[in-house]
Each structure stands twice: as structure tokens, then as C-alpha cells.
Structure 1
Amino acid sequence: MMKRRLYLCLLSVIFFTFNLQAQNFKKPLSSLSYDELKDAFFKNEGKIEIQKKYVKAFLGKAKKENNTPKIARGYYYYSLLYDDNRKIVYFDSIINNVVLPSGEKNFPFVAYLEKGYFLSKKYRYNDAINNYLKVEKLAFSKNINYYYKAKFAIGILKSEKMGEVKESLPLFWECYAFYKSQKNNPDLTFDYEASIFALADTYKSIKKTDSASYYNRLGYSETKRSKNEYLHNIFILNEGANQVLVNNFKATLDSVTKALPYIIKNKDYNNTLAAYYYRAKAYQGLGVKIKAVENYVKVDSLYRLNLVISPEFSDGYKFLIDYYNENGDKENRLKYLTTYLEIQNQFQKEYKELSVKLKNDYDLPNLVKDKESLIKSLKTDEKKYFWLIIFLIGFALCLVSISIYQSKQKKIYKLNFEKIINQTSKPEILNNVVMTQTQKKDINLSNSLIKDINDKLLNFEKNKLYKNPNISIQYLSNEFATNTKYLSLVINEYKNKSFINYINDLRVDNIIEELKQNKNLRKYTIAALAEEAGFNTAESFSNAFYKRTEIKPSFFVKELNGI
């Protein structure tokens, strides 16, 4: 989450340095130069209607003169005025409608990059990745700076959105090595310091505390030299978070106390959330539960305000759930339990889709590219890289096999889903059991007893008494005024299933019909659906649902919502 904030800042300083100057506003807008219009546009930041006039004049002037770099810049200025889908429209205007000279260094790379970041903010991760990959492909030979900016963005998606922290480390190392070689370039100072932070934060996440401290100290020193007060305090906060891992909780509290005022001053809600989280962890480690609860509640408040949280910071909810359980506060326990489950469900959905996309569109192509490079080097030193090539090929084939398997499995799931949708519900027990000689099964029970049990089972099904989570064969035989053996024999012989499977199938069939009819029910969590169906746990519900339908309930609900 801290890296995401850094990336936002990184993008905002990509290619503009603004030295605002006083303007002669009495001059007609059409007579102003590009620089004058640009300066007036940024001088009136926050005054949208006034800014629109200047950017309109800027773009109109550029179109009249057919100045394509300025046209692209005009569309970019328009994109800065909005935080909705209009922003994408202006990015696409640059990408699709402006033919730029081959020597242009910033466009269309910046449009793809900022579009990717905006899409990531809107949780459209697959679309974001596509734009980052385009930058990486186009910029390698034309503007190497953007190549590494795209690589940095992909690293952030891996670490922040997928939890693949170790996998992101090589990407951040590449970026750090490049920016370190450019550290004397003032235009890349922030990029260099951001890459240091990415390494420090990644080493912290994988619990390599000594390495994390090394890069935190390096970042602390570099930001002090560049006088970057904001990032300077982010390194202080990150080292405080690192100290939690070595149980140096007092050092954590000291770091958070120093950094938090500057972070709040910069309206950095994500890192404010992180500061409260680590302060809570420190108090938790010191055994001061009340203070830990206070700070975890602040984390929750910031999450509710922005609806953004990373997996790293979500485990505070487990502490709150346990705390309120111990204190008998059912209302607060339910509140935080519900929020925690919602967050976990969202993580599961986002990461699954993103993982497949990155593996198919980024990891695998790069493995293939690495393999081709190794084959070339093999001509001069064949034995040295032989086993590495075999490993890469085998790994790539494994990924392809997994992808094919997942695709086939999804097709099977869809067929099973269609089968469920198209079939009509049938009662488990026939309305009448006619005991002819050919139909009668040799279970040593009288026709009248079989009919009596069958009639009671029909009533049992009709009134949906199977939804009682505590139902058992002993309980039901008592209700039917018979014994467990007779009841079990009738169900086993006439339904070809055990008592448990009979009850589970009734519950699954019923919840399927209710989900078809009730759209509100589809908003329930799997745990809530399990309870509604009559199961004691989400796991037993999922297993029974899969056994009955050969698909998971989560897949069924997702497909049902798509109809």
C-alpha cells in the first residue's frame, strides 16, 4: 500500500516541472503562447471551469497549427481535470488519434502508463496490465525511462495486489540498478528513491529485517539529501514497521509518532492506515490490548472511508473479532467479522483473476524470452546453461498445462451450470410407493410401514424441515415414531443413498432453487449461504454442493449473476 502511494507520486512528476509565472490575463487566449496557457492552467488548479478555458485554447491552438506533440499534451491536460471514465477517453485520444513524430520521447508512453495506473485504481487489473505491457514493449528502444516505470508498475501489482512479494523482488532490483546509475539526474531522483523504498518494503514483507533496515537507512539518507520530507518520513514509518518483526515494539511506536503527522499532512490515507496498523501491532506486542483495539478501529475507519486495504493490514480484524468475543460483545464481533469476510472474498476474487493474467501475459512471455536468450548464449558455452534451459522449458510447459487444465475445468463447470439451470426440481421421495412384485425390494418391511415412512418423508420435504442444522437420523426416527434401522433401510433402498447424503442433497437442491428466484440471496457470503441451507460450516456446504452438482457454490452464484 505504501508502494502504491509512492507510485502515484512517481507518475505525477513523470515529465512536467512547473514554474508558474504571473500572466497578463487581459490578452486574448488565442494570442497566448503554449507556455503561458500551460502556466495559467496549472496556476488555477482546483478551479475546473477556468482550467477548461485554458486547456481548450491550448488544444485549439495545437490543432490549428497541426502541432501533434502539443495536441497530445492538450489531451493530457484535459485528463488531469477528471477522475472518472472521461480520463480514459482523453488517454485514448492520445493513443488512437494522434500520430506523433518518431522523436517524441514522452507520448504515447505516458498515456499508456497513466491509463494503466488509473485502471488499477478502479480495480481493472487486467486492463492495467495490458497498458503496462504496451509501455514496456514500446519504450525499450525509444525511451528506457518508461520501460523501467512500466516494470516498476508491474512489480507493484505483483506485490500489492497478488501478494507475490518474492516474485516482485527481481523487478524492483532491475529498477533500482537502473535508477542508481542515473542518480545524478535530477529528473529521476524520485524514481531512484522510490526504487530504494520498494526494496526496503519488499524485504520487510518477506521478513529479511536486516536487508530492510539497510535500504531504509539508505532511503533515509538519500531523501534527507534531496530534501524530500514526505518520502523521508515514509522511510521512518517503514523502519518502524520493520521493528515489529524483531519485537522492538517501543522503536515502532517512536517511528510512528515521528512520521504520522507528516503523513496526515500530505493527506496520504493509505499510509495513515498503515501507521495506525503498525501502532496497533506494537501495542498488541506490548500486551496493551485497549490501545491495540483503538488503533485497529482507526484502521477499519479509514478502510470504510476509502474501501481500500491490502492483505497485510487486514489481519487486525482477527484481533478485533477475538477481543470482542472475549468481552462478550456480540454486536461488534459480528460487525468486524462481516467486514473481514467481505474483504477476504474481495481479495480472493481480485487475486485469482490477476494471477492468471500476469502469468499468461507477463511471466510466461518473459520466461520464453529468457529461454531464447539462453539458447543464443548456449552456442558459445553449451554445457553451462543446458540444465537451466531444460528447467525453463519444463516450467513453461507446466504453466501451459495448468492453463489448459483450468480452461477445460471451466468448460466442465459451465456445462454443469447449464444442466442445473435447465433442470426442474424433483422431490426426493416418490409421491406413492406401489409395491408390485417387480418393484418391491427385499428389505423385510411391510408395505404399510414403507408407505407410512414415505408419507412422513414427503411431509418432511414439503415443510423443508431438513434445513434444521441439528437434524440426525435418531432425531428423525423419533419424530416418525419408528426406529433408525427402518428409516435408514427405506432411504438406502429407495433413494440409493445414505441418510446424510439424502439430507445434504435436499438442502443443496433447495438452496439452488432459492438462489434462482432470490437475487438478494446471491449477495450472501458462502458462510451465510451455508447457514441458510442448513449446514453448520461453509466447508461442509461447499463439499456437499460440489458432490451434488460438480461445481462450487461460488462459481454457481457468479454464473447466476451473469445471466
Structure 2
Amino acid sequence: MSYDELKEVFFRNEGKIEIQKKYARAFLSKAKKENNSPKIARGYYYYSLLYDDVRKIIYFDSIINNVKFPASEKNYPFVIFLEKGHFLSKQHRYKEAINNYLIVQNLAFSKNITYFYRAKYAIAVLKSEKMGEVVEALPLYRDCYQFYKEQKNNPDLAFAYEASIFGLADTFKALKNRDSASYYNKLGYNGTKKSKNEFLNNIFILNEGANHVLENNFNATLDSVSKALPVMIKHKDKINILASYYYMAKAYQGLNLNLKALENYIKVDSLYRSNSIILPEFSDGYKFIIDYYKDKGDKENQLKYLTTYLEIQNQFQKEYKELSVKLKNDYDLPNLVKEKESLINSLRKDEQKYFWIIILLIGLAFFFVSISIYQNRQKKKYKLNFEKIINQTPKPEILHEVTTNQLQAREINLPSSLVKELNDKLSKFEKNKQYKNANISIQFLANEFATNTKYLSLFINVYKNKTFINYVNDLRVDFIVEELKKSKSLRKYTIAALAEEAGFNTAESFSNAFYRRTGIKPSFFVKELNGC
């Protein structure tokens, strides 16, 4: 296979690690055999994509230390140091990340100036968004902007140009330089509108909405954020969805619409709870929530959000080590901890011990009565289902024998000859009880039938009216039901042994399939059979 073919198969099987390893190995072996340094590097790089732990660093270092590149090479090793920096950044190892970005700058300055500015932009992002060094980030963003501005007609660098504009706009916003932030937001908005980049266009709208908060222009904030939020949701950009709710909350708070503010701050909290993502900038909404419930005398909610707030601050202490001094200054954590302890003690004192004991007893009584009623109903239901199974005519081995007329009557996007062939082979499969093979799979059966899984699955869905798994499991259940009716010795088997006899891998999967098919558990069925 050619390099392009190996690459295509590798990415086509994304998520299937073992298959991807196979093609990464083939790619690397081919490159080593041909002594092709750039392709060797790419082979190691493909391996690095399969991991998100220390192994990724190992593969990066394998390229850096073991591959020699020709002087004409334009991408390596710059891209590897850059990717290594990105990975270290995700691991919150910011200083190590910056060291790798600086290596890119030193190596790429005379060979590939584009990588030089990609590294500079990455350092700017780290400093402004992760390390709290916004002032230091500003000249880096400016340098990147000037470079990409000169290259903006290069389609490969158009996104980088727009991103550098956003970096400047966001940094000026963080520095509370509202006029400059607004200038770059408008510049980015007009550019992305022209390039029809819907997502980035609305990022600039959102950022300008945030900038309006600094100007106390809260209605303008609501207008901008309301326009941007649906696009953030459309693109599933979780952090900017969270940012949208945060700035809406800030705007409503500024307009003294406290219930609306609370509603949106709680949406920020919900996103944090479901996705575990939040930035220091968006955490101060918890102060509003805590104070709101404190004023309302709602100690339980006050404690709930205070606990979450402390959890977030502890997370920041770990993830944003360079920000730790700033965090200590901005948030009086020891006092918050004391407030939490005080709330817990207060709630304990407020408990009405005997009232809750009575409530608990009533609840337990209701619970046990409900359980008893439920069990009686279930027993009656099981009895009816058991009688139905016993009295029904034994089912043939073939669950849904498909007649020639039925084959012709149903519309299916398969050749009629193939439909007839699959029907005949499935009939033989059922008659020979091949479904008792615990390792049977649609892939295995498709191979046996000399067809593919898509056709076989489609046939079973249409003519058997069920999925492949349910089709096989129903055959197994019907088989074991008839065997249990006939064989008293079989009734002495354990559920696990019955499962194995029927072709199931586990007792649990057998019980679930048996219940789905018959409406009763196999243990109940055997017990009732023995009592007949």
C-alpha cells in the first residue's frame, strides 16, 4: 500500500486502536525500509495520536532524538515540538510547554517562519489564558497579528490571522481596555463575516457582548450574547456556551434582575457539574448565588454552592499553579472554609430530630407496603406468563419462517437471489441449532454465509423483525424453554449452567434475555415447573 493509502485507512478507523496500530506500524516499517526521514517522523506521529498519556511524549521524543531530517525539510521537527508543547499544556505543565515552543522558534526562524509564529501564538495563549500573564501576552499577540496580517490572503493562514485578532481583542478585554477590545472585535467580526466563518464570527459577537459588561452597557450585552449563544450550541462549544450564560447573568445582575441573573449563573453551574469545565473568569458567579441564598435564609442551597465553589478553587490551585498567588488574593479561601463549617453546624442544630425520625418511619412503612404490593403484582404477572408458556403450542425451531410470497411482498434494497439465499442459510442455521455457539456474532455468521454484515443485518431486521442480538437470544431462550419442559434433570442445573447450555456467555445476559422473551425470570420458570 502507498503512504496515502495507509494514511487514509489509519484515519478511517479512528477509535479502533488495534486497527490503527496495525496501519501505523505498516507506515513506519515502509518509511524505515525506504529510509524516508519525514515519513518515519509521520509514522511515529501517528502512533502518538493513539495515546493521551506519557506514551505520547515517548513517541514525540522518538522523532526528536532518532530521526535525522534533510536540510530541505519544512515541517519536522518543528511540528513535533509544537505538538509536544500542546500536550504538556493540557497536562498543566506550562513552563515545560513554553520551553518546547521556544525550541520551535529557535529552529524555525530561518527555515519556516510560519512555525515560528505558531509557537509565539501558543505562548501568548498560555500566558493570557492559563498563567495570568496578560500584560506579557499582549506584545506576543501583536507580533502574531502583524505577521498574519501580511499573510492574510494566504488561505492556509486565514484562520491564524482571525485567531490573532481574537487574541488581541480578548487580551484588551482582560486588561479592561474597552476601546481597543471593541476595535479588534469589530475588525474580526467584519473579516469573519466576509470569509463566511459563522463560528468565529459569533465568537467575536460574544466577546463584544462581554466587553459591553465592562462599559455597563448591559442591554447591548444581552443582545450580543443572545445572537451568539445558538451558534455556540450548534457547534457544541461547551466553554463558550458556559461563557454565554455567565455574561448574560452579569448583564441581568447589572440591571438588578436578580432572578434572571440567578437562573443564568445556575446554568453555568449545571454545565460545570455535567462537563467539569470552568475558567477562573467565570467562577465569581458563585459569590452571587451564595449571597442570594444567604439573604433568603436557604442554608442548604447556600452550603451546596459554597461547597462547589471551594471545590472549583481547589481545582484552580492545582491546574493554574502560576495563578495561585492571584487566587489567594482574589478569594479569601480560609474564610470561605470557615463559613462552610459554620453552615454545616447550623444545619445540624436546625434539624428536628424526632420529626425526621417520624418521617423516616412513615417513609419506611410506605416503602415496605409498596414493595409488598409490587411483589404480589409481579408474582401474579409471573404466574400468568408461566401458564401462557406452558399452555402454548411448542414453537418450531424456525422463529419466523419466511415464505416465498413474503419474500416477494416486502420491499428491500437487496437482490431477490440474495434474499432467497440468506433465508435458506438462516433456516439451516436455526435447524442445526448453531445459535448455541456462545461466540456467534454477526461478523462470524456473515463470513459463514459468504456475505457482509450490512446485508445480513438488513435481512434479519426486515424479515425477522428484530436485531441480530435479539434474534439469536430469542432462539436460545425458546430452545431452553422447550428443553426444560421435557427434561427434569435439566431443571437441576444452575442458572449459569442453563445459560451455557443455551449458548449465553453469562448468567446475567441469559436472565435478561429470558425475561425479555417470556416476561419471567428463568429461576421462577424452573421453580414453577418443578411444582407442577
TM-score of the pair, normalised by structure 2:
0.59
Which string of whole-angstrom CA distances, capped at 9 and with x for unpartnered residues, describes residues 88-140 of structure 1?
22222211222222221111111111111111112122221221222122222
Aligned to 1:311: 280
Aligned residue identity for 2:301: N
Considering only CA atoms, is the larger Rg found in Structure 1 or Structure 2? Answer: 2
Aligned to 1:103: 72
Distance in 1 separating the partners of 2:336 and 2:306: 12
Aligned residue identity for 1:160: E
Shift of 1:355: 9.0
**Match for residue 163 of structure 1 among 108, 129, 132:** 132
Residue 84 of structure 2 aligns to a residue whose secondary structure is helix
Q: Which deviates more from structure 2 when the two are superposed, residues 346-355 or residues 67-76?
A: 346-355
How many residues in Structure 1 have an aligned counterpart in Structure 2? Answer: 335
Shift of 1:529: 8.2
Aligned to 1:323: 292
Distance in 2 separating the partners of 1:105 and 1:79: 20
**Match for residue 182 of structure 1 among 148, 151, 157:** 151
Distance in 1 separating the partners of 2:19 and 2:227: 39
Shift of 1:351: 4.7
Aligned residue identity for 1:112: F
1:26-425 maps to which residues of 2 (within 5 A)?
A: 32-348=1-317, 351-353=320-322
Shift of 1:343: 3.1
Which string of whole-angstrom CA distances, capped at 9 and with x for unpartnered residues, describes residues 513-551 of structure 1?
xxxxxxxxxxxx7558879999xxxxxxxxxxxxxxxxx
Distance in 2 separating the partners of 1:532 and 1:49: 49
Q: Which has the higher contact order (CA 8 A, sep 6+)?
A: 1
TM-score of the pair, normalised by structure 1:
0.56
Distance in 1 separating the partners of 2:18 and 2:200: 33
5+ long unaligned stretches in structure 2: 326-332, 343-532
Instruction: Say if 1:267 and 1:75 are closer, same or farther in 2 by CA, change over 3 A.
Output: farther
Shift of 1:221: 1.6
Shift of 1:201: 0.9
5+ long unaligned stretches in structure 1: 1-31, 357-524, 535-563
Aligned to 1:417: none
Instruction: Say if 1:301 and 1:122 are closer, same or farther in 2 by CA, change over 3 A.
Output: farther
Which string of whole-angstrom CA distances, capped at 9 and with x for unpartnered residues, describes residues 197-229 of structure 1?
001111111122222121111111211222222
User: Percent identical across equivalent pairs?
Assistant: 74
Shift of 1:349: 5.4
Distance in 2 separating the partners of 1:262 and 1:51: 34
Distance in 2 separating the partners of 1:268 and 1:533: 36
Distance in 2 separating the partners of 1:45 and 1:349: 32
Instruction: Say if 1:71 and 1:332 are closer, same or farther in 2 by CA, change over 3 A.
Output: same
Which string of whole-angstrom CA distances, capped at 9 and with x for unpartnered residues, describes residues 490-529 of structure 1?
xxxxxxxxxxxxxxxxxxxxxxxxxxxxxxxxxxx75588
Shift of 1:278: 0.8
Aligned to 1:447: none
Shift of 1:341: 2.9
Shift of 1:166: 2.1
Aligned residue identity for 2:224: S
Distance in 2 separating the partners of 1:103 and 1:163: 39
Shift of 1:169: 0.8
Shift of 1:171: 0.8
